[in-house]
Amino acid sequence: MVRLVENKHYSENKAIEKLPLPQKVYLPLIQHLGKICNPEVKTGDTVRLGQRIAGVASHVSAPIHASISGRVTAIQDWPHPVLGRAKAVVIEGDGRDDHFLFGLKGQQEIDKLTAQDIRKIVLDAGIVGMGGASFPTHIKLNPPQPVDVLIINGAECEPYLTADARLMVEKTAEISLGITLVARCLGVQKIYIGIEENKPEAIKAFSKISGIQVKVLKSEYPQGGEKQLIQNILGRQIPRAKLPFDIGVVVQNVATIYAIYEAVYKGKPLIERIVTVTGSCVQNPKNLLVRLGAPIKNLIEFCGPLKEEPAKIIIGGPMMGIAQYADEVPIIKSSGGLLLMNKKEARVLEEDPCIRCAACVRGCPVGLEPCQINLASEKTLWSLAREYGALDCIECGICNFVCPAKRRLLQTIKRAKLEVTK
């Protein structure tokens, strides 16, 4: 684990604001790990806010809903923040925000919901892991073997990002209700929330909630990785090629929990999320509540004017985020941050040959030898890369960060991961 310059001061005290309703949204048909959705609307159709517009009859998937009301004007190829390009449903808004089927449930009604009912609501609402992983949440709520611990991930260890921190402070009661639902669904009694020590307000807020143990974690990167979180809270280790449920644990991010609360209590599908807009180029950094599909240029304009032209725009944080090539790229379910870096911050240093210092090996939080995977990948020796454990890489970027030769290890490891899973 490493200590990084946090740079959270830009936005950590900024209360969540709503981004004005976008005139157009671009909703990619893939916003989750799993099968791409099929559109269930066609060009010219009128849609209401929250109406399901795409889905697929596959277990590993999550449906997509209209994030504004209006008319479908196209289903076309469009920039995608993770995949480069993907097919998207384009909706031109009518400004009415006319919504579909939202409905408040009373506590008595909610108390009668079975685990299966809760999972069905989560699936129908299109909820996926909002900490960046995008794994469909209804599957995580149905582990193949019993678990005894639920860990809520409130670490938000990426520098700059503050969306989860604000959510924990401003929506403590709602997140607590969501946690109770998830614990009921999993049948667990032991519930922990892991929060880094740099978020004292969130720690204070959750310390008042009974039934949830707050674990104050060091502000170190990648404290929010599932493996690190479980190790640091429970002292349990996930063996190689295993998942948290193999050792009796389910981990859920706070934003995902909030989405579950909204789906169950308000009947609201996943149509918006909180995004931190930040960085040295941004005049007014903010934590914004953004409708999914809104192009990032809307967020940049709303936080402007810019202090200087950004040299690099990243969706996510500086360690795990992805650089973007177009400002038309939309916010999707996994986009927790928008980071605008200036020339100095974004400069790419020239790579030198590996000096075999092993700094990357010492730094890797999952015990890999990044330099070896890098070599295997450069020589296209994919089975060797697999033997070195490329698939266990959590893509935290620490190896790049610590390497004195400025080797772009993560990029080659990512390539190896893709190749070995082909």
Binding stretches for ligand SF4 (CB under 6 A): 354-360, 363-366, 368, 370-371, 393-399, 402-405, 407, 409-410, 413
Contact 126, 268 (CB under 8 A): no
Q: How far is the CB of 366 from ligand SF4 (least distance, A)?
A: 5
CB atoms within 10 A of CB 106: 8
In the bound state with ligand SF4, the residue whose beta carbon lies nearer, of 268 and 407, is 407
In the bound state with ligand SF4, the residue whose beta carbon lies nearer, of 47 and 399, is 399
In the bound state with ligand SF4, the residue whose beta carbon lies nearer, of 53 and 398, is 398
Helix (H) or strand (E) holding 80: strand 70-80
Q: How far is the CB of 147 from ligand SF4 (least distance, A)?
A: 24
Contact 204, 217 (CB under 8 A): no
In the bound state with ligand SF4, the residue whose beta carbon lies nearer, of 331 and 399, is 399
In the bound state with ligand SF4, the residue whose beta carbon lies nearer, of 82 and 110, is 82
Q: How far is the CB of 397 from ligand SF4 (least distance, A)?
A: 5
Helix ranges (DSSP H) in 29-146 = 107-111, 115-124, 137-140
Q: How far is the CB of 402 from ligand SF4 (least distance, A)?
A: 6
DSSP H helix total and E strand total for the chain: 15, 17
Per the document, the length of the chain is 422
In the bound state with ligand SF4, the residue whose beta carbon lies nearer, of 83 and 355, is 355
Per the listing, tokens 């075999």 go with 356
Helix, strand or coil for residue 134? Answer: coil
In the bound state with ligand SF4, the residue whose beta carbon lies nearer, of 101 and 355, is 355
Q: How far is the CB of 421 from ligand SF4 (least distance, A)?
A: 15
Q: What are the DSSP calls for 145-178, one per residue?
A: S---EEEEEE---STT--HHHHHHHHSHHHHHHH
Q: How far is the CB of 34 from ligand SF4 (least distance, A)?
A: 23
What are 360's two structure tokens? 């990357």
Q: How far is the CB of 362 from ligand SF4 (least distance, A)?
A: 9
Give the strands of the sheet with 272-278, arranged side by side: 16-18, 286-291, 272-278, 337-341, 312-315, 322-323
Report residue 350: phi and psi, to 5°.
-70, 140
